[in-house]
Structure 1
Amino acid sequence: MRIRWCLAVLSLVGGTGLAALSSSTASAAACTDIQVVSARGTFEPGTLGLIVGDPVYAALQKKLTGKTLSGYAVNYPADLSLTSAARGNADLVNHVRNQAAACPDQKFVLVGYSQGANVVDNSIGVSSAGAVVGSPIVATLPASVEPRVSAVLLFGNPIRALGRSVTGTYQSRTIDFCAKGDPVCEPGGVNTPAHLGYAADADAAAAFAADKV
């Protein structure tokens, strides 16, 4: 499966689509101290995402000792359809809004990789329209939820290839990794395999989030 997925990612940055791979979706959790809400990349397998979501979750478990942790995988196609990122945007906002209402003391860490970064960007009010597998904003997290979003962790964020980044309310809580030469996030990047290596940043991302929680 990993080989097939890597080929799918290579096709994405090369402009050719392959059939989506299936991935399991974590269900909405009970009222833990912190919930990791993860939007996987295009065609990416794994529970929260093989390359980013799962490694980041594991790293957070080690760093946030004494706190309870749960995960939610954003329910969206993560394919090359024109509505994919928009559907993820809607699901993320709907889930966090409902979860926040059900669990008044819960905090959130948002994680997005590749197309999933577009999903998170849109959800915090930064449009990914015009980016690779991006979309216009269809929903944003309400102001009542904003203080409970402790950290935003982005990897291979396509809006960076357009010279854009997260600004405004969430900027100080956001860390945005772009590997050298990654053509998905670096203007003029040509090192396609760099887009597959973000598991190496999981520990740094978890440390950033742990400091914000």
Structure 2
Amino acid sequence: MQAFADTNAPEEVKEEVSQASANLKKLLAPKAETPPDVRDTIERTLEPLTDALKMLQSPKTSPEDRDTIEKIVRQLKIIIVDFPKTPPKDWHEIGNCVEQLKLIVIKFPNLPPHIRHDIGKLMEDSSIILEGVHDPKTPPKDRHTIEKTIGSVTGGLKMILDRETSMEDRKKIEKAVNQIADAVAAVIRGPKVEIPLWVINKIDQVRTYINRKAKSKCFEVEIVYAPGTWGNEPASRRKPLPKDDGGWATSAIEKDLSPPKEVGKVVLDWDYPTHHDLNDPSDAQKSVASGSKALVDYVNKKSAQCHDAKFILIGYSQGANVVTDALGGDTHNAYAGGQPKPTTAKKIDINSDRISVVLIGNPNRKANPEKMRVPDPYNEKTLDICIDGDLYCTPGSNPPPSGTATVVQHWGELYRNARMSDVGKCLRKEVVDGDECDHDELNKID
């Protein structure tokens, strides 16, 4: 990167590259006490940063493209310098952001001019959002909501990069991302301003829109995520949390599978209300039944449409019941602490070698601790993950008498930090390498 300092690039960009270079050396030094997840993310910035600098040095790069690449370099610098200071709960979305920037840099030289132009417009907005996550002045209660917007922005960029995305869709994504960035900027500049409800609704809309597009495409591997309780509830009941799109659970898996596989992700956010009235156990049972039917219909239809696709079904908390029922198991009263009963409901009907299953915080594990919870032939393909102390899946414990979306989010963050990296490595062995991993070890409560 020293050679870059000798170019005629703007002094501001040179200074950012210098800061990034110094921090890279510090964080990646052999004796540096950099946490493994931070080291991994920082290492992944090297390739896109190096390629971006080459483009800036090339005389063939147009002024407009140069401006876009400078914005990408600025974002990578923010990540390299400030990322290690962020709370662990923010790491996974920023890691996804690095992967998206890497993809943009790889594809950028061969993209049509109108797509390069669209990316340039979005880079300014995504820089504002990244600065909001890392700015120490950002109110703690809003930081996590701002961090969640990164998933919407990276998803939007992914659609912009897709040549099949229509001009109408591009403009919708650009407008939505711009509105989110404006709201984030208002939070950063005004110490008493907080993320308004309409922005959380806008984040939800972007995610729903991207999710709907993903449902119609075929991927080599498709992750289908069933959220936990309240994950699909209206924003007014979840504030300040956006919809649970599963990024906390799926980021490590996506990273370990792609490349070499083309990975898509769909969130079960239709016909699955994620209700749980704490005074009416039947409310959750109805929610699970509805979600299970939606999952069965979707996977059976999509597997027939995409003959070679493999599916990773992930269910969190109430979503674990949804996945179990969809595979032909039964969790009739598990969420309320009762015993499972036989079922004759319609189930997923594809070869087991096309499916892997991950259950997280599975209430049926507590209700039915000694018996097989997922029926053959899927049982051997199932990771059933429970952290000691999770009151919904640890045998012998009792769920709290009341709860909010924040409680569910809290456990999701603990699972991501403690177990999801190991789950990603396990699934890579199964889905990519065709080997087996030690399910028993991962299925222990710890």
Calculate the TM-score normalised by the size of structure 2: 0.39
Whether 1:204 aligns to 2:204 is: no
Task: Tell me the distance in 1 between the aligned counterparts of 2:361 and 2:317.
Answer: 5
Cα contact 2:229–2:317 (8 A) shared by 1: yes
Spell out the pairing of 1:17-166 with structure 2 (5 A cutoff).
24-25=207-208, 26-27=211-212, 28-44=215-231, 49=244, 53-64=246-257, 65-74=259-268, 75=270, 76-80=272-276, 81=283, 82-132=285-335, 137=343, 138-142=345-349, 144-149=350-355, 151-162=356-367, 163=369, 164=371, 165-166=373-374
Aligned-residue Cα RMSD (Å) equals 2.8
> Residues 205 and 118 (structure 1 numbering): CA distance in 2 closer, same or farther, change over 3 Å?
same
Alpha-carbon offset, residue 211 of structure 1: 1.5
AA matched with 1:55: W
Deviation at 1:167, TM superposition (A): 4.4
1:137-181 deviation digits (Å, cap 9, x = unpaired): 533111x343311x1011110011112433421122111111112
More helix as a share of residues: 2
The count of residues paired between Structure 1 and Structure 2 equals 191
Q: Is the 8 A contact 1:38 1:73 kept in 2?
A: yes
Bigger CA drift: 164-173 or 122-131? 164-173
- Identity %, equivalent residues: 29
User: What runs of 5+ residues in structure 2 fail to find an aligned partner?
Assistant: 1-139, 142-199, 233-240, 277-282, 401-406, 432-446
Shift of the alpha carbon at 1:191?
8.5
Larger Cα Rg: Structure 1 or Structure 2?
Answer: 2
The answer on whether the counterparts of 1:35 and 1:70 sit within 8 Å (CA) in structure 2 is yes
Counterpart among 390, 401, 404 of residue 182 in structure 1 = 390
Distance across 2 between alignment mates of 1:198 and 1:122: 22
1:101 & 1:168 partners in 2: Cα distance?
Answer: 21
Given that residues 180 and 189 in structure 1 are in contact (C-alpha distance below 8 angstroms), is that contact kept between their aligned partners in structure 2? no
Distance change >3 Å, CA 48–CA 112, structure 1 → 2:
farther
- Equivalent position amino acid for 1:102 in 2: Q
Amino acid at match of 1:120: V
Unaligned runs of 5+ in 1: 4-20
